[in-house]
Amino acid sequence: MDESAIRTQLNDAGYALVQVEPRLQGLGSTIRPDVLAWAADNDGVLVPWAVVEVKHRQVAGHSAALRQLATIRDQLGTVDHYVVIDGEWFRADRGLRTATPISGPVSPANGADGVLQDVSLATSLIQERLWNAANRRRHDGQRLDSLELFADLLPGSLSGELVARSGHTVRADRDVLWRAGRRALTAFTSQDKNTDLFVSHPAIARAVAELAGDAISGTVLDPFCGTGEFLWAAADRAVAASRSVELVGVDFSSQMIEIASSLASAAPVPARAIQGNAYSELPTDVDLVLSSPPLGLRLPTQHELLNGTSTKDGDLASIDVAIRSLRSGGRAVLQISPGVTFRANGEAYRQFLAENVRVAALIGCPRGTVPGTGTGSVLLVIDKLPPTKTFVSQLGEDWEDQLSSGGAAITAAVAHLDDKTAKAT
Ligand SMILES: C[S@@+](CC[C@H](N)C(=O)[O-])C[C@H]1O[C@@H](n2cnc3c(N)ncnc32)[C@H](O)[C@@H]1O
C-alpha cells in the first residue's frame, strides 16, 4: 500500500487535512512522518493528530516504527499513532510500546473541523494551491507570470478558508492567513527572475521598519509599495508596540495594487493600496514614509525639486516626493540607489538636504539587498527636522546579520536616530 492510499483511508475516516512526508518546523531535517493527519483538539484548534509510519515486513517490524512514532509524538504532540505494514494497519497503544491489528484508522475524537493556527501549514497550503495552478497553466501552454497568478489566487486564499488537497475546506485565523500569504508571496516570487524585482527583501523590509523607530504611528505611506512588504513590516512593529497606524500604499501597477489590496484587507491594522503615480499624486502631512523606488529611473518629464531646480533623475525625485509628503517632524526611510550619495548631478540637492533637514542615517548595503538587480543600495533616513550629525555605515557580506534585530549596525543606527539632539558638525 502506498502513501496516497493511506491518505485516502484517512480522508474516509474523517480527516480533512492529510500530508504525505510533510516538512514541519520543530522536526529535525532527518525526521519526517510518512503520513500526518490534522484534526481538532478539545479547544477546536487544528493540530497534528494522527501519524502513520509505513513499513515493509521484510525490512522492519513494529519496534523501529514505534521508536520513530515516539520521536514524532514528543516533537509534535500527536495523539493517535499507526503502523502500516504491507497494507495492514496496526494501532499503537498510548505508551507506544505495542501495536495491535485494526481494520483501518479511527475517526478523530473531536472531528477534523478545527481552526488552523499554524502559519507554516497555512503557507504550505497556499503554496500547494499556487503550484497546482501554475502547473495547470503550464500544461495548457500558458505563459506563467507569478504575480498574475498570485493576484488571481490570493483573494481566495485570504478569505478565511483554505482548500486542502482532499477538497475539504480548512478554516484559518485571519492573522495566520495574512502571515502565510506574505510568506508564500516572498517564497514564490523569489524563485521567479521576472518578478522578484517587485518584492523587497524581507530582511530589508524589517530593517526599514526598525529604522522608522518611534515614527511608526499615524499615517504611514509607501509611495512605491509594490506588494507592500515595507508596509506589512511596519504593521508587525505597530502591533508589537500597540501603536495605532493607518497604512497607505501607492503603486503605478494595477497588478501590484491588486496583490497589496488583498493583503491590506487581511492586515491587522487599517490599510489600503491605491493605484497612482508617486511623482505627481501623493498624500501630504503623513507621519512616516517608507519607500523603495525603482533604482536608476529616468523620469519622462522634469520634476521640480524642493531647492527650486528641476531633474529627470528618479532617485533624487523620489527623495524629494518623500519629504514633500511628510508633516513637519515626520520621518522618511528609503532604500535608494547608491548613486544619489555621489553623482555630480545630485550635488546641489545633497547640499540643500544637508542644510534643511536632518539626514539622520546613511547605511550602504551590498549586492543582494535589492532582489532581481546586481547592484547594492543605500538605506537613507531623513527627519523633517533641523540638521544634526549623520550616522554613516557601509555594510559587507554579513549585511543580513548586521541589520537583523539586535544586529550591530541596526543597534548603532537606532541609538543615533533616537538622539535627536546630536548637533550637526
Ligand atoms: C522595488 S518595488 C517596491 C517593493 C516594495 N517596497 C515592497 O515592499 O515589496 C518598486 C515599485 O515601484 C513601482 N513604481 C514604479 N514607478 C512608479 C511610479 N511612478 N509611481 C508609483 N509606483 C511606481 C513599481 O510598480 C514597483 O512595484
Per-residue pLDDT of the chain (425 residues), as tens digits, is 578 899 999 999 999 899 888 876 555 556 789 999 999 999 999 999 999 999 877 665 688 899 999 999 998 899 999 999 988 999 999 999 999 999 999 999 999 889 999 898 888 888 888 888 888 888 888 877 778 888 888 887 787 777 777 777 888 888 899 999 998 888 877 776 666 567 889 999 999 999 999 889 999 999 999 999 999 999 999 999 999 999 999 999 998 999 999 999 999 999 999 999 999 989 999 999 999 999 989 999 999 999 999 999 999 999 999 999 999 999 999 999 999 999 999 999 999 999 999 999 999 999 989 887 888 999 999 999 999 999 999 999 999 999 999 999 999 999 999 886 655 54
| Ligand 1 pocket check for 134: Cβ under 6 Å | no
Cell numbers linked to 45: 484548534
Region of residue 292 (left: phi > 0; alpha: psi -120 to 50; beta: else): beta
Could you tell me the three cell numbers for 282? 501623493
Q: What's the 232 CA to ligand 1 centre distance in angstroms? A: 15
* Among candidate residues 190, 215, 244, the one where a domain is terminated: 190
Question: What pLDDT, on the 0 to 100 scale, is given for residue 159?
Answer: 78
State how beta strands 245-251 and 271-275 pair: parallel
Domain shared by 179 and 53, yes or no: no
Residue of 147, 194, 195, 224 to mutate, ligand 1, most atoms within 8 A of C-beta: 224
Same-domain pairing of 62 and 208: no
Specify which residues 115 forms β-bridges with: 45, 171
Choice from 147, 189, 252, 281 to test ligand 1 binding pocket (greatest atom count within 8 A of CB): 252
Distance CA 387, CA 357 (A): 5
- How much is the pLDDT for 340? 93
Q: What is the CA radius of gyration of the chain?
A: 26
The answer to whether residues 300 and 336 belong to one domain is yes
In a domain, residue 233? The reply is yes
Q: What angle do CA 316, 186, 196 make, to 5 degrees?
A: 50
| Whether residue 7 sits in one domain with residue 140 | no
Q: Is the same domain home to 102 and 163?
A: no
The verdict on residue 104 lying in a domain is: yes
Are 97 and 127 members of one domain?
no
**Quick one: which atom of ligand 1 is closest to the CA of 198?**
2
Q: How far apart are CA 107 and CA 413, in angstroms?
A: 56
Q: Going by CA atoms, what residue is nearest to atom 3 of ligand 1?
A: 226
Please say which residue of 190, 205, 220 terminates a domain. Answer: 190
Query: Domain limits at 121?
Result: 116-190
Collect all residues with Cβ–Cβ distance below 8 Å to 295 and sequence separation of at least 6. Answer: 315, 336, 337, 370, 373, 375, 377
Residue 310 lies in a domain: yes
Quick one: the chain helix, strand, coil %, rounded to 5? 40, 25, 35
Q: What is the pLDDT of residue 425?
A: 46
Q: Contact, 97 vs 22, CB < 8 A? A: no
| Interatomic CA distance for residues 102 and 152, integer angstroms | 45
Is the beta carbon of 278 within 6 A of some atom in ligand 1? yes
In short, whether 232's Cβ falls inside 6 Å of ligand 1 is no
Q: Which ligand 1 atom is nearest residue 335's CA?
A: 6
Considering the domain architecture, whether residues 320 and 204 belong to the same structural domain is answered as yes
**Nearest one of 317, 282, 277 to 296, comparing CA atoms:** 317
Tell me which of 49, 83, 113 is where a domain ends: 113
Q: Which atom of ligand 1 is nearest to the CA of 253?
A: 25
Query: Which atom of ligand 1 approaches the CA of 232 most closely?
Result: 8
Q: Do residues 91 and 179 share a domain?
A: no
Q: 130: CA distance to ligand 1 center in Å? A: 24
363 contacts 369 by C-beta, under 8 angstroms: no
Best residue for ligand 1 mutational test, from 251, 274, 282 (most atoms within 8 Å of Cβ): 251
Instruction: Report the interhelical angle of 174-190 vs 146-157 (nearest 10°).
Output: 170
357 exposure class (CB count in 10 Å sphere: 0-12, 13-18, 19+)? buried
DSSP 384: S
Bridge pairing between strands 115-116 and 161-163: unpaired
CA of 294 to the centre of ligand 1 (A): 6
How confident is the model at residue 124, as a pLDDT? 83
Task: Return the axis-axis angle of helices 408-418 and 202-212, rounded to nearest 10°.
Answer: 20
Q: Is residue 424 part of a domain?
A: no
Is residue 122 located within the same domain as residue 244?
no
> Which grid coordinates belong to 203?
530582511
Q: In 3D, which of 401, 423, 398, 397 has the Cα closest to residue 411?
A: 401
Distance CA 197, CA 226 (A): 9
**Are both 75 and 129 inside the same structural domain?**
no
Residue 253 C-alpha cell reads as: 501597477
Residue 256 forms part of a structural domain: yes
| Torsion sign over Cα 209, 298, 149, 20 | negative
Q: Does residue 39 lie within any of the structural domains?
A: yes
- The CATH number linked to 268 is 3.40.50.150
Number of residues that make up the chain: 425
Overall number of domains in the chain: 3
Q: How far is the CA of 249 from the centre of ligand 1 (A)?
A: 10
The burial class, CB within 10 Å (0-12 / 13-18 / 19+), for 101 is exposed
Whether the CB-CB separation of 245 and 220 falls below 8 Å is answered with: yes
Grid cell at residue 55: 513499513
Q: Which of 311, 243, 319 is nearest to 282 (CA)?
A: 319
Atom of ligand 1 nearest to the CA of 223: 21
CB 333 within 8 A of CB 211: yes
Same domain flag for 156 and 243: no
Residue 106: which CATH number?
3.90.1570.30
CA of 295 to the centre of ligand 1 (A): 10
**Is residue 423 in a domain?**
no
